[in-house]
């Protein structure tokens, strides 16, 4: 296997103008909460039905270049027997896989957390590749306060992210590096910017130490936002602060920055991405890797009813289309045209 050329083929497929990623990798507890909100029990069958609905949405590949799947989904099949990763691939959507094993408290660092899952990762990746996965995702989380995250958490999570990325590249799998600075709390936008800059500096130092090839990875950061308790901020301000942090920390060799939505509403996540892309020229492609911000309208339309599948798919396609426009900096202009 020519690992380098395989990684490049995957990168070329993922990083396309006007396209982003669908994050459908919710853990069991997370998807149970989403389903509870619409009155649907979370079982292997309901999860299969929902994710099959997502991946079979007609035309989705026009705006979605890749999908991040949960391990369970990688082995599931549609009603007609088609493996769900193959269903995605038929639309030109590259299947990917969440590989971390979740977070736990970081020892000797009250309030900070660390992500686990490195043990046996190379072996797991070989199995995931056989099931069709071509890229992977690992999430680190950073709680924010006047004192958090501590230096230990910033350094430890960066090292784990870099080790994960190096293992992926050696296995021929493109790594998505996701350092999420959480929105929870009452911190200011300035504090979020300060933490985000420190986190990203440390992450790229670690990636360099572990010889990760920047051209063959994607960054999935959070936007620079005030804590939820501080209220909302105008998209232009979010864009300015986020891009400033990226310019200070992210090498131009990284092909794409695919933002997580992190608790924003679907419309906020789209507007903020659009505002950033209107600050061009930028050295990286700025795109989206949204979970709830893409799925929420579709979930509300579906409500567990097979008869609502087409309606739910139209809702998903519409949000994907709007985010595709935001990738090109065309979302706000389209809104203004629509309102006359």
DSSP per-residue letters across 191-260:
HHHHHHHHHHHHHHHHHHHTT--GGG-EE-PPP----GGG----HHHHHHHHHHHHHHHS-TT--EEEE-
Largest Cα–Cα distance of the chain, in whole Å? 57
- For the chain, residues with pLDDT lower than 70 are 1, 339-340
| 316 token code pair | 């998903």
**Catalytic (active site) residue 170:** no
Q: Which residue out of 26, 113, 178, 202 is catalytically annotated?
A: 178
According to DSSP, residue 111 is labeled: T
**Catalytic (active site) residue 220:** yes
According to DSSP, residue 327 is labeled: H
**Number of residues assigned to the chain:** 340
| 329 token code pair | 């900096």
pLDDT at position 339: 66
pLDDT at position 162: 99
H/E segment holding residue 288: strand 285-290
Q: Which domain holds residue 295?
A: 3-339
pLDDT at position 124: 98
Contact indicator for 230, 188 with CB cutoff of 8 Å: yes
Count up the domains in the chain and report the number: 1
Contact indicator for 76, 31 with CB cutoff of 8 Å: no
Q: Which residue out of 113, 220, 268, 296 is catalytically annotated?
A: 220
Closest CA to 297 of 272, 274, 275, 323: 323
Spatial separation of the C-alpha atoms in residues 340 and 332, rounded to whole Å = 12
CA atoms within 13 A on the CB side of 198: 19
Spatial separation of the C-alpha atoms in residues 275 and 327, rounded to whole Å = 9
CA atoms within 13 A on the CB side of 174: 32
CATH code of the domain containing 254: 3.20.20.70
pLDDT at position 2: 84
Spatial separation of the C-alpha atoms in residues 91 and 224, rounded to whole Å = 33
Distance from CA of residue 191 to its chain's centroid?
23
Strands (E), the chain: 20-24, 64-69, 94-98, 103-105, 113-115, 135-142, 174-181, 218-219, 256-259, 285-290
Contact indicator for 280, 329 with CB cutoff of 8 Å: yes
């Amino acid at each position: 296997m020519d690992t380098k050329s395989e990684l490049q083929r995957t990168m070329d497929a993922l990083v396309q103008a006007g396209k982003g990623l669908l994050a459908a990798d919710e853990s069991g507890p997370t998807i149970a909460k989403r389903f509870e909100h619409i009155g649907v029990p979370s079982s292997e069958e309901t999860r299969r039905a929902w994710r099959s609905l997502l991946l079979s949405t007609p035309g989705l590949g026009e705006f979605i270049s890749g999908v991040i799947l949960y391990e369970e989904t990688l082995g599931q099949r549609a009603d007609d027997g088609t493996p769900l990763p193959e269903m995605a691939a038929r639309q030109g959507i590259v299947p990917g896989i969440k590989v971390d094993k979740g977070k736990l408290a970081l020892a000797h660092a009250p309030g900070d957390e660390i992500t686990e899952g490195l043990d046996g990762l190379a072996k797991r990746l070989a199995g995931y590749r056989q099931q069709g996965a071509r890229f992977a995702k690992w999430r680190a989380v950073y709680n924010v306060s006047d004192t958090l995250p501590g230096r230990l958490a910033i350094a430890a999570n960066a090292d784990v992210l870099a080790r994960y990325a190096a293992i992926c590249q050696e296995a021929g799998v493109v790594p998505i590096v996701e350092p999420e600075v959480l929105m929870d709390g009452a911190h200011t936008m300035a504090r979020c910017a300060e933490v985000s800059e420190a986190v990203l500096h440390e992450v790229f130092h670690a990636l360099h130490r572990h010889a990760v090839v920047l051209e063959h990875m994607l960054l999935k950061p959070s936007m620079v936002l005030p804590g939820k308790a501080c209220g909302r901020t105008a998209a232009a301000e979010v864009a300015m602060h986020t891009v400033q942090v990226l310019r200070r920390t992210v090498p131009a060799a990284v092909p794409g920055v695919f933002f997580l939505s992190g608790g924003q509403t679907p419309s906020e996540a789209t507007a903020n991405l659009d505002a950033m892309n209107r600050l061009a020229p930028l050295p990286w492609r700025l795109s989206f890797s949204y979970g709830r911000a893409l799925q929420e309208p579709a979930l509300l339309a579906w409500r567990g009813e097979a008869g609502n599948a087409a309606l739910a798919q139209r809702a998903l396609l519409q949000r994907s289309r709007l985010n595709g426009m935001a990738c090109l900096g065309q979302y706000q202009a389209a809104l203004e045209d629509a309102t006359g």
